[in-house]
Amino acid sequence: MVSIHLILFLAFGAVAAAGAINLLVQRHPINAALSLIAVMAALAGEYMLLGAEFVAAVQVIVYAGAIMVLFVFVIMLLNAGVEEQTKGSRVAILFGIPGMLLGSLLIAWVVLKHSGTGDVAVGALPGAPNVIGQLLFHEFLLPFEVTSILILIAIMGAVVLASKPPVPGGTPAKKVQD
Amino acid sequence: MVPISYYLVLSGLLFACGVCGFLIKRNIITIFMSIELMLNGVNLSFVAFAAHWHQLAGQVFVFFVMVVAAAEAAVGLAIIIAVYRTRETLNVDQVNLLKL
């Protein structure tokens, strides 16, 4: 008997897989970014099915929200067009697509035949924000503080890297042509 | 009831798509998005294994992966802007020299 859990899993999984394959097919970066947003939204649904509410919310807010907005912003800032194919990329397609199929089939075969993992019900492990917060601020306090330092360094690095380089001799910086 | 292995298969498919995109794409921004796709696939397997072993630490790890991904995206996109400013191209085939 087909349960509603399986139907929802297959629906979200189909969206995620279609988005991931569309990311490979699309030639324009903005289309690739939009399909990646679809993948992330579908993955948030999968997290909800597994009971990870907090992770699902953070997935939508941070990943599909903040990070992808950054991506789309940079694509539009740099006016990125359709990518051109070169000889090297055709060789990469020749080996990359069969490699991807082989890799995913191998993973699927190993996981389905030899993993011996059991079934999972809807919301098997409820990851409510208060429970996650308890873990984060007791057991994982040191890693949490270290990641805050990492974020601080990343902010400074981004500002330094993206700022205009100092021009020797005081001549004005060359304008980037669009 | 859905087997955990289905979630793992989906996670593996997403990771394989990420690896493939990393190899076949020539636009540096799309390559970067393929890396994000790989991170998402790993996150799904983290959450699936957390449900399998009833360990909430798996979901906390997903949080850490997202933090690192956010830092990586900020620095990586800044590097892309710097590369575009000096080379005026986003094609990785034309960014093959360390020195201009």
ipTM, 2 decimals?
0.91
Which sign, positive or negative, has the C-alpha torsion B64, B66, B70, B75? Answer: positive
As for how many domains chain B has, the answer is 1
Residue A36 corresponds to which tokens in the numbers above?
A: 């990646």
Residue A144 corresponds to which tokens in the numbers above?
A: 């949490």
Task: Please report whether residue B13 resides in a domain.
Answer: yes
Indicate if the pLDDT at residue A171 is higher than 60.
Answer: no
Query: CATH code at B35?
Result: 1.10.287.3510
Q: According to the model, what pLDDT value does residue A35 have?
A: 95
Task: Please report whether residue B99 resides in a domain.
Answer: no
Residues of chain B found within 8 Å of residue A76, distances taken between Cβ atoms: none
Q: According to the model, what pLDDT value does residue B14 have?
A: 93
Residue A55 corresponds to which tokens in the numbers above?
A: 């992770």
How many C-alpha atoms does A173 have within 13 Å on its Cβ side? 10
Contact in structure between A128 and A55 (CB atoms under 8 Å):
no
Residues of chain B found within 8 Å of residue A140, distances taken between Cβ atoms: 57, 60, 64
Q: According to the model, what pLDDT value does residue A164 have?
A: 78
Q: According to the model, what pLDDT value does residue A103 have?
A: 84
Q: How confident is the model at residue A21 (pLDDT cuts 50, 70, 90)?
A: very high
CB contact under 8 A, B20 and A24: yes
Give the containing element (helix H, strand E) for A170.
none
Query: A61 to chain B: nearest residue by CA?
Result: B66
Q: Which residues contact A48 (CB under 8 A, 6 or more apart)?
A: A56
Q: According to the model, what pLDDT value does residue A82 have?
A: 81
Q: How far is A96 from chain B (nearest CA, A)?
A: 5
Residue B69 touches chain A, beta carbons under 8 Å? yes
Residue A39 corresponds to which tokens in the numbers above?
A: 């993948």
Indicate if the pLDDT at residue A177 is higher than 70.
Answer: no
Task: Please report whether residue B57 resides in a domain.
Answer: yes
CA angle A71–A75–A77, rounded 5-degree value: 110
Indicate if the pLDDT at residue A26 is higher than 70.
Answer: yes
What residue ranges of chain B have pLDDT lower than 70? none
Residue B56 touches chain A, beta carbons under 8 Å? yes
Q: How many CB atoms lie within 10 A of CB A7?
A: 11
Residue A142 corresponds to which tokens in the numbers above?
A: 């040191």
SS (H, E, C) B25-82: CCEHHHHHHHHHHHHHHHHHHHHHHHHHHCCCHHHHHHHHHHHHHHHHHHHHHHHHHH
Dihedral, A119, A121, A122, A125 alpha carbons, nearest 10: -90
> Which one of 3.30.565.10, 3.30.70.3040, 3.40.50.740, 1.20.120.1200 gives the CATH number of domain A4-125?
1.20.120.1200
Q: For A77-104, what is each residue's pLDDT tens digit?
A: 988 778 777 776 777 778 878 888 888 8
Task: Please report whether residue B100 resides in a domain.
Answer: no
CB contact under 8 A, B2 and A3: yes
In 3D space, the residue among A45, A54, A66, A52 whose CA is nearest the CA of residue A133 turns out to be: A54
Indicate if the pLDDT at residue A151 is higher than 90.
Answer: yes
Q: How far apart are CA A92 and CA B14, in angstroms?
A: 19
Q: For A153-169, what is each residue's pLDDT tens digit?
A: 999 999 998 887 766 66
